[in-house]
Structure 1
Amino acid sequence: MEALDPASLALWIGALAAASAVAGFAAGLLGVGGGIITVPVMFQMFTFMGLPPSLAMQMAVGTSLMTIIPTGFMSARSHSKRGAVDWKLIRSWGPLAFAGVLVAVVIARHVDGKVLSGVFAVIALIVALDMFLRRNGGQVTDGFPNAVVKHVIGFFIGGFSTLMGIGGGTLSVPILTAVGYQIRNAVGTASALGPIIAIPGAIGFVVNGLDVAGRPPFSIGYVNLVAFALLLPAGLLLPSVGARVAHMIPQRSLKLLFAAFLFVTAVRMGWGIVFGK
Structure 2
Amino acid sequence: MSSNAAAVSPDTAQNPEPHKPQSLYQKKRHTSDIVLRIVIYTATAITVAALIGIIGYILWNGIPHITWSFLSSPYSETRASMKGILPMIINTLYIVVITLLISAPIGISAAIYLTQYAKQGKLVRAIRFTTEVLSGIPSIIFGLFGYTVFCILFRLQTSIIAGCLTMAICVLPTIIRTTEEALLAVPGSYKEGALALGAGKFRVIMGIVLPCAMPGVLTAVILAMGRIVGESAALLFTSGLSYNMPSGFFSQIMSSGRTLTLHLYQTAREAASPDALNVAFATASVLLIFIFILNRLASLLSKVLKKG
Q: TM-score, normalised by structure 2?
A: 0.29
Answer 1 or 2: higher relative contact order, Cα 8 Å, separation at least 6: 1
Q: TM-score, normalised by structure 1?
A: 0.32
